[in-house]
């Protein structure tokens, strides 16, 4: 079974994390993945490692891990790849593939312009 892991930074403010939970629900309702999970880099549970472990425990043999990040800082370049490599060592035979982050998508520029128009 394939699983989708949405990786987010996380926030100590519970209401700030509600947005990613809503995104996951929409993806779950529209997407082809029978299992959609969220893993947080910091501040929240489940952390990325625990979310991967839970996906594997639920029967996932392949995990698409997609960062819900806007910028390609050290979290995307080092921290998350290190976590995914460690998970692959813990779960031999489970394919974990990291997708690209969403920050450079042209649609986000349009969203930004729409927000500017809304206040102008």
| Structural domains of the chain, count | 1
- When pLDDT is cut at 50, 70 and 90, the band that residue 21 belongs to is very high
Average pLDDT, the chain: 95
Q: What is the DSSP letter of 64?
A: E
Which two three-digit tokens encode residue 53?
């472990």
Which residue range forms the structural domain that includes residue 21? 2-119
State phi, psi for 43 to the nearest 5 degrees: 75, -15
14 pLDDT exceeds 90? no
State if pTM tops 0.85.
yes
Q: What is the pLDDT of residues 62-91, one digit of tens each?
A: 999 999 999 989 999 999 999 999 999 999
- Give the CATH number for residue 7: 3.40.50.1400
Which two three-digit tokens encode residue 43?
């501040």
């Amino acid at each position: 079974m394939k699983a989708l892991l949405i990786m987010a930074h996380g926030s100590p403010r519970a209401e700030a994390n509600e947005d990613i939970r809503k995104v996951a629900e929409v993806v779950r309702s529209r997407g082809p993945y029978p299992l959609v999970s969220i893993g947080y880099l910091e501040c929240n549970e489940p952390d990325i490692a625990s979310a991967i472990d839970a996906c594997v425990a639920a029967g996932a043999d392949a995990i698409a891990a997609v960062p819900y990040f806007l910028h390609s800082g050290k979290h995307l370049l080092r921290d998350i790849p290190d976590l995914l490599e460690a998970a692959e060592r813990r779960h031999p035979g489970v394919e974990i593939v990291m997708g690209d982050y969403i920050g450079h998508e042209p649609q986000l520029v349009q969203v930004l312009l729409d927000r500017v128009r809304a206040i102008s």
